[in-house]
Amino acid sequence: MQRDRCGGCGSAALEPFLDLGKTPLADAFPKTEDEPETWYPLQVTVCAKCWLVQLLEVVPDTDLFGADYGFYSSTSPSIVEAHQAYASKLFTAYGGQAKRLTVEIACNDGSLLQHFAAAGCDTLGIDPAAGPAQAARSRGLEVVTAPFTYGLADQLLDSHGPAGLILANNVLAHVADLNDFLGGVAHLLAGDGVAVFEVQYLPDLLAGNQFDHIYHEHRYFFSTTSLLPLLARHGLALQSIEHIPAQGGSIRFAVARASGIRGYWPSTGLPIPPEGYLTSMASYRAMQGRVEYLRDRLLALLAEEKAAGRKVFGYAASAKSTTLLNYCGIGTDQIERVVDTTPAKIGRFTPGTHIPIAGPGEHPDTYLLMAWNYLSGVLRREREFTAAGGKFIIPIPMPVIL
């Protein structure tokens, strides 16, 4: 279904600016090469009233987050490490709020929330994906398997009381109804409570050509320009904000009721750049040409590897790789297999492009690094491979071979 109104302000002034063709769902890895797949248009539009960037196609939640949803936070060592540091930082800033009740929306397998439970906080996790929610329960966490909505917030207020701290990392981009979701957060939040969000930061996506972050689970892309009016509509005010390198560039921000406490967030991240250019359509329209240029450069690099008789594997069957491979038209002609450590993905195929996914073992001559946002960690882990002459193609922000 295509949206005809902005998911934030409701205006009909939507201006499509980036067309990435059609792709299957980024996290739906087929079990066999000929398993039927559903393809959806992948077009991005911006609201000319509130400048919220959003996908034109709205795939229903039931299709996006079904029983087969394959992502588990704890399978990524970088995420486990980051969660420990993040929990401790949150606890320093908002320990008083956390001790009353910490609610994590989209808690996945509980890898962040467990640190709050271990510190003696009452905790409640919420996640619509059955598999990861069950994994969180097996850690002893209480989890509701449902999408977060205003209706659910109302029930939880009755059953658990108001939340001192609400965590919602990398979830705001995924929600079907932004206003219902933020209304629910405001409703569940204690008068002096704080809600902390992490979202990918649109200026980094635009400036860094990160078109592979665009897939159907990511329905919205945020800047402070589009966030401020959205929060204000629900009586929420931005208390502090931090710009961090996660996911190629993200912002973490704390909100409270406008009449509530002053938040405290010691910012150690990158500066928040001026966003004036985000209210000009030209800033968005320039992306299509850059992405097409990137695609042609990447295909040329892969063709050179093939012509020289070098074997290429993909590195990491991330959700992002689905957009990268499908948009660029990269299949088994260019890449023999994709290597990934996630047990649930090994033995499956990449969505749409049907490249076999294998566990680590044999090295190729060259990897196409599809988890480019973990570049430094990958280079550390694969020191022996590169020392022996192995190469990496880094596709984003512009393809290079290392």
**C-alpha distances in angstroms, 220 versus 19, 171, 319, 369?**
15, 10, 16, 25
Nearer to Zn ion, 87 or 230 (CB): 230
Nearer to Zn ion, 50 or 195 (CB): 50
**Residue 355: HSE in the Cβ half-sphere, 13 Å Cα cutoff:** 28
- By CB under 5 A, residue 233 contacts Zn ion: no
Rounded to a whole number of angstroms, the minimum distance from the CB of residue 239 to Zn ion is 23
Helices (H), 146-260: 150-160, 178-188, 202-207, 224-232
Judged by CB under 5 A, how many residues of this single chain contact Zn ion?
8
Separation CA 283–CA 279 (nearest Å) = 8
Nearer to Zn ion, 116 or 221 (CB): 221
Rounded to a whole number of angstroms, the minimum distance from the CB of residue 13 to Zn ion is 7
Q: Which stretch binds Zn ion (CB under 5 A): 50-58, 115-123, 204-212, 272-280?
A: 50-58
DSSP string, 59-74: --HHHHT-TT----GG
Residues in the chain: 402
Residues 2-21 that bind Zn ion (CB under 5 A): 6, 8-9, 11
Please give the biggest Cα pair distance in the chain.
66
Nearer to Zn ion, 47 or 101 (CB): 47
Selected binder of Zn ion within 20, 25, 46, 50 (CB under 5 A): 50
Rounded to a whole number of angstroms, the minimum distance from the CB of residue 271 to Zn ion is 26
Helices (H), 211-356: 224-232, 281-307, 319-328
Selected binder of Zn ion within 15, 28, 30, 47 (CB under 5 A): 47
- By CB under 5 A, residue 227 contacts Zn ion: no
Instruction: Say which amino acid occupies 369.
Output: L
CA angle 113, 146, 122 (to 5 degrees): 30
Neighbours of 148 (CB within 10 A): 24
Nearer to Zn ion, 44 or 189 (CB): 44
Q: Is the peptide bond before 41 cis (omega within 30 degrees of 0)?
A: no
- By CB under 5 A, residue 195 contacts Zn ion: no
Nearer to Zn ion, 50 or 93 (CB): 50
Rounded to a whole number of angstroms, the minimum distance from the CB of residue 10 to Zn ion is 7
Rounded to a whole number of angstroms, the minimum distance from the CB of residue 205 to Zn ion is 18
Rounded to a whole number of angstroms, the minimum distance from the CB of residue 241 to Zn ion is 21
Selected binder of Zn ion within 3, 22, 49, 100 (CB under 5 A): 49
Rounded to a whole number of angstroms, the minimum distance from the CB of residue 49 to Zn ion is 5
* Region of 329 on the Ramachandran plot (φ > 0 left; ψ -120 to 50 alpha; else beta): left
Separation CA 73–CA 245 (nearest Å) = 18
Separation CA 147–CA 7 (nearest Å) = 17
Nearer to Zn ion, 9 or 156 (CB): 9
Residues 52-81 that bind Zn ion (CB under 5 A): 52
Q: Which stretch binds Zn ion (CB under 5 A): 39-47, 89-97, 140-148, 253-261?
A: 39-47
Rounded to a whole number of angstroms, the minimum distance from the CB of residue 283 to Zn ion is 16
Q: Which two tokens stand for residue 69?
A: 């949803």
CA dihedral 355, 217, 396, 313 (to 10 degrees): -20
Nearer to Zn ion, 156 or 230 (CB): 230
Sheet holding 53-55, edge to edge: 14-23, 40-47, 53-55, 220-221
Nearer to Zn ion, 22 or 49 (CB): 49
Residues that bind Zn ion (CB under 5 A): 6, 8-9, 11, 47, 49-50, 52
